[in-house]
């Protein structure tokens, strides 16, 4: 069963950063496909005016309310939950993850 989730710019950036980059071929293919879904279009890049400094990504406050409806399948949902659980168990979650975590577990 697929679920439609409304994700903010922050949600999308965080998800792109927690998707696995190593693992089984199934997980890697799903991660790559989902990364493309989460990625930002040229129009979004223009509106958000992304900047990178010291390993951090920032974007224009004027477009910070930009959201996108993303369809997430059951397997990808479980994979995301697994990655968030790993971060939680290793006490690696940051304040920036609280809202995202709530969307998947609350």
DSSP 50-87: -EEETTEEE--GGGTT-EEEEEE-HHHHHHHHHHHHHH
Confidence of residue 106 (pLDDT cuts 50, 70, 90): confident
What pLDDT is attached to residue 7? Answer: 97
Residue 22, pLDDT > 90, answer yes
Task: Quote the mean pLDDT of the chain.
Answer: 93
Q: What is the DSSP letter of 50?
A: -
- What is the spatial distance between Cα 97 and Cα 48, in angstroms, rounded to a whole number? 20
Asked if the model's pLDDT at residue 56 lies above 90, the reply is no
**What is this structure's pTM?**
0.91
């Amino acid at each position: 069963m697929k679920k439609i989730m409304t994700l903010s710019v922050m949600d999308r950036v965080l998800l792109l950063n927690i998707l696995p980059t190593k693992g089984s071929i199934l997980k890697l293919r799903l991660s790559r496909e989902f990364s493309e879904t989460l990625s930002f279009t040229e129009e979004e890049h223009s509106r958000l005016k992304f900047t990178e400094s010291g390993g951090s990504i920032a974007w224009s406050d004027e477009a910070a309310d930009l959201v996108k409806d993303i369809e997430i399948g059951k397997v990808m949902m479980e994979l995301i939950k697994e990655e968030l659980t790993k971060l939680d168990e290793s006490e690696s979650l940051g304040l920036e993850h609280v809202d995202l975590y709530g969307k998947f577990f609350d």
